[in-house]
């Protein structure tokens, strides 16, 4: 989708409007009832979220499914929007949960109204959800731990060193699972690599300050930082640059930066060898998979699995141009075109 179309989409989603396509029988001229989906989406300032929503909307348009969209940036707004959506004639409710616990009340209300519920990217901690479509975030965290451990080994000549974790709000089940997967794998498989700090940062500005504090406290004893989402990763790089602790990859004083998601600026910095890697999710595949599962359940009337996982992949300066990565797809580079 061209950038001009993305701008229109951004405005439409931000206004919380509807995106739909009427269907009319060409012979009778009578409108045919199509599935109507209520979508509770995340704020669109996040490129990963926008790419997922773009893929979702593109696919439902192709399948002529009507969507009523509500976008929010906090739990309270999402709860209110859910109540509004459930007063309308929707055939299913699709949710990106801001808070795994708070969203339970939405799911339970939908269950009472016999509205099927689907979640994507993160999950609800209760209620009956037909299907959740996401990356396996615990496994993603484990992948990140092994990747960072290997980078520490390349730097120090042994699986021994000090690393830190910066993440967003742990009310997001995706972030919580990544942190848990990272910590469990690191402690069990690499006991001599210490996690010296782990802190939430709900904005890039906060992440920059957190990383700067760690650099001031640990200096060159800090071998690497794992960023649980790439909306924080560039801030980590900026902190290292501001503290004048930038050293090339392979240098004994290089501070490793490993991100998650494959945001556009992070991918560019990986190509420039300023960032060591990111455990990529495929935003467009997740968005399209949500629609596939919805269509299978609502239109075809078939049973679906309770969980669908879209694979992740480690991307580094050394494999970014490989056939394997190109086949997997770098969603952010397609998104920028």
Which residue, chain included where needed, has tokens 């974790």?
165
Beta bridge partners of 198: 165
Residues 234 and 46 sit within 8 Å (Cβ to Cβ) = no
d(Cα 289, Cα 59) in Å, to the nearest integer? 9
Residues 140 and 178 sit within 8 Å (Cβ to Cβ) = yes
Output the CA angle 74-80-83, nearest 5 degrees.
140
Which residue, chain included where needed, has tokens 């001229």?
29
CATH 3.40.50.2300 domain residues, the chain: 3-134+282-305, 137-280
Residues 153 and 132 sit within 8 Å (Cβ to Cβ) = no
One DSSP character per residue, 127-188 reads: S--SEEEE--HHHHHHHHHHHHHHHHHHHHSSS-EEEEEEES-TTSHHHHHHHHHHHHHHHH
pLDDT of residue 8: 40
Q: How many C-alpha atoms does 212 have within 13 Å on its Cβ side?
A: 14
Which ranges of the chain does DSSP label H, i.e. alpha helix? 3-14, 47-62, 75-85, 104-112, 137-156, 173-189, 204-218, 230-242, 264-271, 283-298, 323-328, 331-336
d(Cα 197, Cα 165) in Å, to the nearest integer? 6
Token output for 314: 């480690």
d(Cα 83, Cα 74) in Å, to the nearest integer? 15
The helix (H) or strand (E) run that includes residue 193 is strand 193-200
Indicate the pTM of the whole model: 0.88
d(Cα 75, Cα 98) in Å, to the nearest integer? 6
Q: Domain 137-280's class?
A: alpha beta
Sites in the chain below the pLDDT cut of 50: 1-31
pLDDT of residue 277: 98
pLDDT of residue 140: 98
Q: Domain 3-134+282-305's class?
A: alpha beta
Q: How many C-alpha atoms does 163 have within 13 Å on its Cβ side?
A: 34
pLDDT of residue 226: 98
Burial class (CB in 10 A: 0-12, 13-18, 19+), 332: buried
- Cα–Cα distances in angstroms (integers) from residue 283 to residues 104, 232, 261, 311, in the given order: 24, 17, 8, 11
pLDDT above 90 covers a percentage of the chain that reads 80
């Amino acid at each position: 989708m061209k950038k001009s179309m993305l701008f229109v989409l951004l405005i439409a989603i931000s206004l919380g409007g509807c995106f739909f396509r009427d269907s009319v029988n060409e012979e009778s001229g009578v409108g045919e009832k199509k599935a109507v989906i209520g979508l509770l989406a995340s704020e669109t300032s996040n490129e990963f979220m926008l790419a997922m929503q773009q893929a979702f909307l593109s696919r439902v348009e192709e399948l002529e499914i009507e969507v009523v969209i509500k976008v929010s940036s906090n739990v309270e707004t999402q709860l209110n929007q859910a109540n509004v959506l459930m007063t309308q004639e929707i055939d299913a409710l699709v949710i990106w949960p801001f808070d795994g616990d708070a969203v339970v009340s939405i799911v339970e209300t939908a269950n009472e109204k016999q509205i099927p519920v689907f979640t994507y990217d993160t999950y609800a901690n209760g209620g009956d959800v037909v299907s959740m479509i996401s990356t396996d975030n615990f496994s993603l965290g484990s992948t990140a731990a092994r990747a960072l451990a290997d980078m520490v080994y390349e730097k120090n000549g042994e699986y021994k060193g000090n690393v830190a974790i910066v993440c967003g709000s742990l009310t997001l089940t995706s972030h919580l699972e990544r942190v848990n997967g990272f910590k469990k794998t690191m402690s069990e498989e690499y006991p001599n690599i210490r996690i010296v700090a782990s802190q939430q940062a709900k904005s890039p500005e906060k992440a920059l300050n957190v990383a700067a504090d760690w650099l001031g406290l640990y200096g060159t004893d800090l071998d690497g930082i794992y960023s649980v989402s790439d909306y924080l990763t560039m801030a980590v790089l900026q902190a290292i640059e501001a503290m004048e602790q930038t050293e090339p990859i392979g240098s004994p004083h290089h501070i490793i930066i490993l991100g998650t998601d494959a945001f556009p600026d992070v991918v560019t910095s990986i190509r420039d060898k300023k960032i060591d890697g990111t455990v990529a999710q495929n935003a467009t595949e997740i968005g399209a998979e949500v629609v596939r599962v919805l269509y299978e359940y609502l239109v075809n009337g078939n049973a679906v699995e309770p969980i669908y996982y879209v694979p992740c992949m480690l991307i580094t300066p050394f494999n970014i141009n490989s056939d394997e990565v190109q086949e997997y797809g770098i969603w952010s580079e397609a998104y920028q075109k």
